[in-house]
Amino acid sequence: MPLAARPGPLAALSAVYAGQLSRAKAARGPLLFVATLQSVGILLLLRGVVDERSSLTAQQVVAGSSVLVVAFVALNLLAQRFGMLRGSGALDHYAALPVPPAAVVLGTAASYATFTLPGAVATAVFGCLLYGLPLTHLWVLVLVLPLAGASLAGLGALLGLLAPRPELATVAGQLGMSAVLFLGIIPAHRMPEALQILRALVPSTYAADALARSLGPHPDGGLLVRDLLICAAVAVVALTAASAAFRKAVRR
């Protein structure tokens, strides 16, 4: 008996992506609202604290808040989602289909990342207006958000798939989001050295830094490219590791 066809990697990816996108449609509104509200709230709260003359701090606060929207959905919610799918045995459905694990992980991660786009853009624009920062280089978001989304979603999927129990996946996702919040919003030069080291290890840092740079009056193109490349590298590593974790989670 000959083997039946299997979908090409791209066809599998797009089928998973389309399915997941529609799944989240119902929950999209409230979730995005919460994610965006949280970041906008932080922007408003810190407005009273941030020194009018410190553009660097304002840039970091706006960039960090914008990336936080991505972290909320791609890291926190995706970790929960994969933790739940793994715990309930629902992944068997995918495992018994002739699709590469990477397509399932990437498709799901991409659909979560997609949801964050409107909220992250809205937060960035609102932040720039609130803190009087130029909107000129906001186009950088087009690069920053997908890369931040890919790396944080990869990390979220990895946490969810590695966690031995769904509750631990939830805790890990929330801790990860807190790390993104504190390390991304507080400017590096205001941190103690130990925290600066930790900051360098969190992938969202580079997305936040790239965006923060672009909000300044004269962005340094070289540093911007460096940050984005690091972001991309982390995304590749995180998604590869998540695909391996998926394979391990379903073929026990």
Partner 1 sequence: MGGGTTGASMVGDAVAPPASAATAVPAVALEQLSRTHKGRRGSADVLATDAVSLTVGSGEVFGLLGPNGAGKTTLVRQLVGVLRPDSGRVRLLGHDVTRDPSLAGRLVAYLAQEEPALVELPVGLAVETTGRLRGLSRTAARSARDALLEELGLTGIAGRPMTKLSGGQRRLAQVATALVGDRPLLVLDEPTTGLDPVARRAVWDALARRRATTTVVLVTHNVLEAETVLDRVAVLDAGRVIACDTPGRLKALVSDDVRLELVWRAEPPYDDPTVALLHARSTVNGRRWSARLPQAEAREALGRLTGGPAFAALDDFTLATPSLEDVYLALGGRNSDLDRG
Site residues, partner 1 (CB under 8 A): 1, 3-7, 11-12, 15-16, 18-19, 22-23, 26, 85, 88-99, 250-252
For the purposes of burial, counting CB atoms within 10 Å of the CB of 209, is it exposed (0-12), middle (13-18) or buried (19 or more)? buried
* Beta carbon of residue 157, minimum distance to partner 1 (angstroms, whole number): 13
Distance CA 147, CA 234 (A): 9
Of 229, 213, 236, 90, which Cα lies nearest the Cα of 155? Answer: 236
Give the nearer residue to partner 1 in terms of CB position, either 41 or 98. Answer: 98
* Residue bearing tokens 């979603």: 153
Kind plus residue range of the DSSP H or E element containing 114? helix 101-131
* Beta carbon of residue 1, minimum distance to partner 1 (angstroms, whole number): 4
Give the nearer residue to partner 1 in terms of CB position, either 120 or 249. Answer: 249
* Beta carbon of residue 14, minimum distance to partner 1 (angstroms, whole number): 8
* Beta carbon of residue 106, minimum distance to partner 1 (angstroms, whole number): 14
Give the distance, in angstroms, between the CA of residue 99 and the centroid of all CA atoms in the same chain: 24
Distance CA 32, CA 111 (A): 13
Give the nearer residue to partner 1 in terms of CB position, either 61 or 105. Answer: 105
3-state secondary structure at position 91: coil
Give me the DSSP letters along 182-196.
HHHHS-GGGS-HHHH
- In whole angstroms, how far apart are CA 35 and each of 76, 84, 197, 227, 234? 11, 21, 27, 24, 23
Residue 149 identity (one-letter amino acid): G
Give the nearer residue to partner 1 in terms of CB position, either 5 or 201. Answer: 5
* Beta carbon of residue 156, minimum distance to partner 1 (angstroms, whole number): 16
* Beta carbon of residue 105, minimum distance to partner 1 (angstroms, whole number): 12
C-alpha dihedral, 112 to 17 to 154 to 209, nearest 10°: -60
Distance CA 163, CA 95 (A): 18
* Beta carbon of residue 20, minimum distance to partner 1 (angstroms, whole number): 9
Give the nearer residue to partner 1 in terms of CB position, either 94 or 115. Answer: 94
Give the nearer residue to partner 1 in terms of CB position, either 17 or 206. Answer: 17
Give the nearer residue to partner 1 in terms of CB position, either 35 or 85. Answer: 85
